[in-house]
Amino acid sequence: EAQVTQNPRYLITVTGKKLTVTCSQNMNHEYMSWYRQDPGLGLRQIYYSMNVEVTDKGDVPEGYKVSRKEKRNFPLILESPSPNQTSLYFCASSPFGGDYGYTFGSGTRLTVV
């Protein structure tokens, strides 16, 4: 089944403790991206990648890192999480971005205390 898989689905952590949210797609898509969703603010892009080893900032990149060493994986790294990063996170992929539709993962609910 074609899908975007995120792990974990739920995570509670403490301020400052580094964490990684994994994202993997099995559709050989070139483009991958991370979004966060917050009440009243909607979905906002954190980072995106147009290809392996090519990443760029979205609208809200502060406090996040990403890497794209392989086409299928695009992990989101929070090196020193803070409570304002408590949110629902989504990974998405698309064949090339732009002209094609996007497939989203099931989401990761992160709580930073």
Contact residues: other proteins, CB under 8 A = 33, 35, 42-43, 45, 48, 50, 56, 58-59, 88, 90, 92, 96-107, 109
Minimum gap (Å) between residue 81 Cβ and other proteins? 20
Nearer to other proteins, 14 or 41 (CB): 41
| Nearest in space to 91 (alpha carbons), one of 79, 77, 108 | 108
Query: Which CB, 35 or 74, lies closer to other proteins?
Result: 35
Q: How far is the CB of 80 from other proteins (least distance, A)?
A: 25
Q: DSSP strand E in 8-105: where? A: 10-13, 19-25, 31-38, 42-51, 54-57, 65-66, 76-78, 87-94, 103-104
